[in-house]
Amino acid sequence: MSLQMIWFVFTLGEKIIMRLCPTEEETVDLLNKVLNGNKLASEALAKVVHQDVVISDPALDAIEINIPQDTLGVWVDPIDSTYQYIKGSADIKSNQGIFPSGLQCVTILIGVYDIQTGVPLMGVINQPFVSQDLNTLRWKGQCYWGLSYMGTNIHSFLPPVSTRNSSETQSQVTQNPSSEAEYSHPFSAVISTSEKETIKAALSRVCGERIFRAAGAGYKSLCVVLGLVDIYIFSEDTTFKWDSCAAHAILRAMGGGMVDLKECLERNPNSGLDLPQLVYHVGNRGAAGVDQWANKGGLIAYRSKKQLETFLSLLLRHLAPVDAHT
């Protein structure tokens, strides 16, 4: 869908194409039709969309990089975790910094990919509801970004992961890749409440009690970006390219990535083949509608390739053979 054009069809059959017009006044007139003559709201919205936005970031200001725009595609999810946004719960308590539900799980996702290779190049995750001022009830948000292009890998300066103690916050495997013998459960993971029982059972043997449930694919991916968990794993085919592209690009910039779970489980670790990264330029064969853009094999988001390899070896060890090939 175009970022500059949306169409509305009203009950009488009238179709109005909503677009950013050359002048603010023209945009007001269009908005007025959609908003049933609410001129005050139309003027306020038109003023916002026509204003110049200047974004400055020290990391970006320090480099000069040119990417041909005609090689780029964009996936946008304007509101990920829509149910949590509609529900509007503001009083959910976190579990070691991870929110199982609530407004904190709502994200806005923008992912940019190479239209020839499908490789994610740039990602922006906006988390609009990070903390609330109890006096004014206003929310403060946070924006995260990453860019990985032609050997350039940069990302936003991330805030401290958590106020938890370091033994809980840091990945034990990242600190010491050979720590399996020292720690019985070296990994932490975030999962969906709808995850398959077989995956959850295997994860419990790999992660012990360090398994967290959370709403929103974008938020669960963000938990990996922020280092709150080591892994986000999902075995179903109900996430889509717009859910994963932004976080995938950021993780690439950090040295991680996002892979197809099914292909990982079927892959021979001794084959020397690259990990099956998700790609974003081609749809699923034989699928129609939104299903052609589903992540059909599930996914795993991770921060370190070495860490992922260790995790997969442990997961496969605890999965029944039938589950590893279905």
Binding positions for Mg(2+) are 77, 79-80, 243
Task: Could you list the residues known to form a binding site, using ranges.
Answer: 77, 79-80, 243
Q: Report the C-alpha gap between 199 and 323 in whole angstroms.
A: 8
DSSP assignment letter at 93: P
Q: Which amino acid makes up residue 38?
A: N
Residue 153 to residues 6, 96, 150, 218, 250, Cα–Cα distance (Å): 34, 29, 8, 21, 9
Query: What residues contact residue 71 under an 8 Å CB cut-off, 6+ apart?
Result: 114, 115, 116
Task: Tell me which residue of 296, 274, 279 sits closest to 120, measured CA to CA.
Answer: 279
Q: For tokens 């993971």, name the residue.
A: 189
Q: Report the C-alpha gap between 70 and 270 in whole angstroms.
A: 38
Alpha helices in the chain (DSSP H): 24-34, 39-50, 58-61, 82-87, 166-169, 172-175, 197-207, 217-225, 241-253, 261-266, 305-318, 321-324
The CB density around residue 212, as the number of other CB atoms within 10 Å, is 22
Sheet holding 72-80, edge to edge: 72-80, 107-114, 120-132, 139-149, 152-155
DSSP letter string over 67-84? Answer: --GGGEEEEEEEEESHHH
Identify the bridge partners of residue 125 per DSSP, sorted by sequence position: 109, 144
Q: Report the C-alpha gap between 33 and 50 in whole angstroms.
A: 18
Phi, psi (deg, nearest 5) at residue 155: -150, 165
Q: Report the C-alpha gap between 140 and 128 in whole angstroms.
A: 7
